[in-house]
Amino acid sequence: MKKRLIQILALLLALILTACSNKENETMETSQQNPEETSQQNQEFAEIGSGAHLVKFPEDLEEGIVFATYDRGDIHEDIYVNSREAIEAAQNGEELPSGTVITLVGYKDGELDQYLVMEKRAGWGSQYSPEERNGEWEYQAFNPEKEVREDNIGRCFTCHANQERDDYMNSMDQMKEFDLGEISQSNNRRAEDQVAANHTEDWKVSEISAHKNESKDVNKEESRLIGDEEKAGIIQDVLLTMYLQQDKS
């Protein structure tokens, strides 16, 4: 009987030692787990839109390209992009480059109402959860005075989230269809407007005979003083040629 009791006690001791050993091994495996994996499991993602402060008002907005416009009742919107390269990338089926800035300028009843800006930079958005992140885009809203507007920027992420295939842009189709030839035409019109703004009333323009135009000593009697209307046209043609030549260079 005593021998039987000793065998039972030995068996119980063996079971206890085995359980302790398994527990110790489990603890060691947990402690040896990859620290990065543990950190990722316990990571708390930043609040969506908390990086809006990175987006500044685009001071060079007027130098951008209006590639889309929308009208809805009393609302009018012009959509600008800050570079030709972004349009070319879209039309070539490529991702928009880092540094791309898209600006919605909104009008209500003909009055400037708001600026909505989305900007893309390498590495932006990495602090958000994968479900909420809009690639590398951040958003910001500005009032007509170009000051940051109190707004729920998280709504911008929600609005653009379903456009992942279009690099989170709601107006990608318009960018792909935009005629890049319109840019040079727009530049020409802007140059013409600037040249036309010059006052030429006090300018004097004379027509000189062809065989005299290389001479430094020109007889005034052999030149014809040109009238105001013709004079203005000649001056504007010369200034426009100079302006466009400078723009190309």
Give the range of the structural domain holding residue 160, as residue numbers without chain letter: 52-177
Confidence bin at 219 (pLDDT 50/70/90): low
Which residue, of 177, 201, 217, is where some domain finishes? 177
Residue predicted with more confidence, 244 or 135: 135
Mean pLDDT over 205-228 rounds to 53
Counted domains in the chain:
2
- The predicted model scores a pTM of 0.61
Last residue of a domain, one of 177, 203, 226: 177
**151 and 185 within one domain:** no
For residue 64, the one-letter residue type is G
Residue 33: per-residue pLDDT: 45
Residue 49 has pLDDT above 60, yes or no: yes
Domain assignment present for residue 11? The answer is no
Could you tell me what percent of the chain has a pLDDT over 70?
56
pLDDT tens-digit series, residues 162-176: 999 999 999 999 999
For residue 182, the model assigns a pLDDT of: 77
Q: Quick one: DSSP state of residue 25?
A: H
- Listed residues 134, 159, 177: the one ending a domain: 177
What's the confidence (pLDDT) of residue 7?
Answer: 62
Does any domain span residue 115?
A: yes
The answer to the question of residue 13 being in a domain is no
Q: Which helix (H) or strand (E) holds 80?
A: strand 75-81
Residue type, 141: A
Q: Supply the pLDDT for residue 71.
A: 97
Judgement on whether residues 139 and 214 belong to the same structural domain of the protein: no
Phi, psi dihedral angles at 64 (to 5 degrees): -80, -175
Tens of pLDDT along 58-93? 999 999 999 999 999 999 999 999 999 999 999 999
Q: What are 107's two structure tokens?
A: 């009008």
Q: 101 has which bridge partners? A: 119
Mean pLDDT of the chain: 78
Closest by alpha carbon to 122, among 95, 141, 142?
Answer: 95
Based on the domain organization, do 130 and 217 belong to the same domain? no
> Are residues 228 and 243 part of one domain?
yes
If asked whether residues 161 and 188 sit together in one domain, one would say: no
Instruction: Decide if pLDDT at 158 tops 60.
Output: yes
Same domain (yes/no): 118, 214? no
Residues 172 and 102 reside in one and the same domain: yes
